[in-house]
Amino acid sequence: MDVFSVHKELIDDYSEYTSSLVKVRDQRTADYLKEEEENKVRWPDPWLSLNPGFESGGTVDELAADGLLRPECERFFRDKKHAEDPGARSLTLHRHQREALEAAKTGDSYVLTTGTGSGKSLAYILPVVDQVLRDPRPGRIKAVVVYPMNALANSQHHELTKYLTWGLSRGGQKVRFASYTGQEDQEQRDQVFKRPPDILLTNYVMLEYLLTRPHEREQLLKAAQGLDFLVLDELHTYRGRQGADVALLVRRLRDACDAPDLQCIGTSATMASSRTFAETRRTVADVASRLFGTDVKPERVIGETLRRNTTAHAPSAADLRAAVETALTPGTERDYAELAADPLAGWIESAFGLAEEDAEEPGLPARLVRSRPTTLPTPPEPSPRSPATTAARRPSGRCCSRGPAPAIRRRTGPCSRSACISSCPRATLCM
């Protein structure tokens, strides 16, 4: 499927539909609406980005062999396809997930600030499950996980079902979990009261009720005495008055559960934008410390460690032309290794996927970070004597008007349409 054609067709159809509803007779108004349409005010260009590759943190089996996880985790955290599937292979973790597990072992509170699709939930589910296995205490709630939306809680409930029940006998399901989000019927709520789970999934509104309603206080707070973990998912959503309310809620929960050593964990895709990751760590640690009411050290703010999936980092214009011709050849099939070495794939990863952050100190290597999402607007049709047409006739090995193509490096600053392919993904490669 050509997603760009689908997008264009959808926009064209909807634009035609909306413009047919009203016939504008005032010429100034009609001109204004026409200008808005040409400037794509109502239908902006789509934003493009790539999910990056992450440095490996080892498999769950390897972490269990190293003593970081209980051996039972080997049976839980596997690649499972359905309820009867025990999993053909152990999950492979990203480095930031392993670092989160190591941080949890110290007893320190920590924050995981990594991008979309980076597996943030495993960064707190793994240490929580490991702790439950090490110190079962039946009938006690060991972790409360708070979500800003019920949809996120429902999604996590499914993930826990997959990891902790699929492919396991009844006797092998050693970690219990339940939702308390306000969506449950009376029978489900009664079951939570009668058999408090090890892990309670909730939202901040229901957590407030848990602290104020007499029945919930009697049944659930009693079971949560000495609470081990409090997790706030999507930490960046708690700002302003809501952030103040949740900060007080955290302190009240700690007191009500008589848990002075409560370990707080936060996850967030974006919380601060700074020049370097060290600056981001200090900012996030300060915000998290105020929200949790406990000290979060800058070194306990965990970011993602990215790696390149491709090997052709600085292809020449000639290499790119050849790669495009190969990609357009019907019937072309390549394995993963060939695709990773493809010059066009390397350029796409550099242009849309990865950027280099300034080194924190002179002499240190630059840190790979995600590129900012960018648009790829459709350029106007060139006239016979337009600069684009003239540039296309230049000798091979040259890019736009800037001479030989230097090494590819994706800029993070403002983007210019006239910039050469070596610095801007929106530039036109001179074929």
User: pLDDT for 97-125, tens place per residue?
Assistant: 999 999 999 999 999 999 988 999 999 99
Q: Tell me the mean pLDDT per 10 residues along the chain, length 431.
A: 84 85 88 88 85 95 96 96 96 98 97 93 97 95 97 97 96 96 95 96 96 93 96 94 96 97 93 82 95 97 95 90 91 89 94 86 84 74 41 36 36 36 36 30
SS3 188: helix
- CATH code given to domain 53-306: 3.40.50.300
Interatomic CA distance for residues 300 and 112, integer angstroms = 8
pTM: 0.81
Interior CA angle at 269 toward 59 and 133, to 5°? 40
Q: What is the 3-state secondary structure (H, E, C) of 211-234?
A: HHCHHHHHHHHHHCCCCCEEEECC
User: pLDDT for 319-376, tens place per residue?
Assistant: 999 999 998 898 888 899 999 999 999 999 998 999 998 777 777 788 899 998 888 7
Interatomic CA distance for residues 182 and 188, integer angstroms = 10
Of the candidates 304, 300, 267, 303, the one whose C-alpha atom is nearest the C-alpha of residue 285 is 300
SS3 298: helix
Token pair belonging to 74 = 């080997």
Interior CA angle at 269 toward 264 and 270, to 5°? 100
CA max distance for the chain: 81
Contact 189, 179 (CB under 8 A): no
